[in-house]
Amino acid sequence: MTEKADLTAVLDRAAEGGRITPEEALELYRHAPLHALGQAADAVRRRRYAGTEHIATYIIERNINYTNACVTACKFCAFYAAPKSDKVWTRDLDDILRRCAETVELGGTQIMFQGGHHPDYGVEYYEEHFAAIKAAYPQLVIHSLGASEVEHMARISGVSAEDAIRRIHAAGLDSFAGAGAELLPERPRKAIAPLKESGERWLEIMELAHRLGVESTSTMLMGTGETNAERIEHLRMIRDVQDRTGGFRAFIPYTYQPQNNALKGRTQATLFEYLRLIAVARLFLDNVAHIQGSWLTVGKEVGQLSLHYGADDLGSIMLEENVVSSAGAKHRSNRTEIIDLIRKSGRVPAQRTTTYEHILVHDDPANDPVDDHVVSHLSSTAIEGGTAHPELKILSTN
């Protein structure tokens, strides 16, 4: 074990902006006192955002699930259905556009197009849908998919990953959501997603996207049986690509949800492990701008705590989300609550864009928005009085 004095020296160096090695990051993750770890990470955040360090952000978005048919069969997933199953469904384009319309009506700025690896959906499917969304709602940012979807659609269409990226970007994709990263190191990835591309291939495709001008976020799924060393290795793999491209605008770790999937909750990450990972990520990923707390998987209170452990963003009010919820994530929120959570953490809330520009800074509680329709996991596709579809009525959110 590293001596306490050595850990303190590493923490001090990291807090002052120095680069730490993967070995040092692992020692901090395993042994650094929790509060000292959080203080060092928060110091890094404050320095990076000097002048706006008092602000923490959120975004209003919608996850639009276009199909649950998937050939990949990841063991942690409770959302997918085998392609020939009677449980398979697919949304038609009109339904998808209605969901986009409601997103705009509720002040959302971003959609995440998220679904399974359908055996028939190649590049052409995504081109058609992204072009239609952009034609109808050019103000919506399409922040969607990831390297796994690129690999799949390219194979279905018989084209290269580069061609696939160029085509869907031209059709309207603005940035990749970093989907499919899960765990990048070989052993845990093969254990939970044996039919997915390797972690190295996932990173190759993301690096290719960055070089083609398509930025992305990066993610990490915690708690499926990976070791502490493998968690840090995941961070190293991301940092190495980021050194070359600078294309990852954020890192978003989230925790495995144990219901209705093949892993059956045999292993899970604790909330303290999650907070420690947030802090170490802020210290180690010195080349990634933003760290996002995942209130959806760890709960609102821990999400709020993540703002004291290096996170500068509390993620999204998801007007719709079905994938993680299928595995047991029951946390719900609304805009009023997210603003309150951020404010009670001692920060000023601000609604942001996909690229983290501030749309609305809530610096005066008297001016807070009061629209109670802006609720996460809203199942409605009909807004009473909305200009996009004035004939529709609001559905119950129960």
Going by pLDDT thresholds of 50, 70 and 90, the confidence category of residue 297 is confident
Strands 358-361, 216-222: pairing is: unpaired
pLDDT at 392: 41
Provide the 3-class DSSP secondary structure of residue 322.
Answer: coil
Going by pLDDT thresholds of 50, 70 and 90, the confidence category of residue 299 is confident
Q: Are residues 274 and 231 in contact, defined by beta-carbon separation less than 8 angstroms?
A: no
Annotated binding-site residue? 100: no
pLDDT at 389: 40
Q: Are residues 352 and 361 in contact, defined by beta-carbon separation less than 8 angstroms?
A: no
**pLDDT 10s digits, 30-84:** 999 999 999 999 999 999 999 999 999 999 999 888 888 887 866 667 666 777 8
pTM (predicted TM-score): 0.87
How far from each other are the two terminal CA atoms of the chain, in whole angstroms?
51
In this model, does residue 133 exceed pLDDT 90?
A: yes
* Between 385 and 193, residue with greater pLDDT: 193
* Between 252 and 294, residue with greater pLDDT: 252
pLDDT at 135: 98
At position 196, the amino acid (one-letter code) is: K
Going by pLDDT thresholds of 50, 70 and 90, the confidence category of residue 212 is very high
Provide the 3-class DSSP secondary structure of residue 316.
Answer: strand
**CB neighbour burial string for 100-134, b if at least 16 within 10 angstroms, e if fewer:** bbbbbbbbbbbbbbbbbbbeebbbebbbebbebbb
Q: What angle do CA 277, 147, 127 make, to 5 degrees?
A: 135
Domain extent listing, the chain = 51-367
Annotated binding-site residue? 74: yes
Paired with 59 in beta bridges are: 316
Return d(Cα 67, Cα 313) in angstroms, integer. Answer: 29
What is 51-367's CATH superfamily? Aldolase class I (3.20.20.70)
In this model, does residue 394 exceed pLDDT 70?
A: no
Place of tokens 């556009």: 97
Going by pLDDT thresholds of 50, 70 and 90, the confidence category of residue 330 is very low
pLDDT at 257: 59
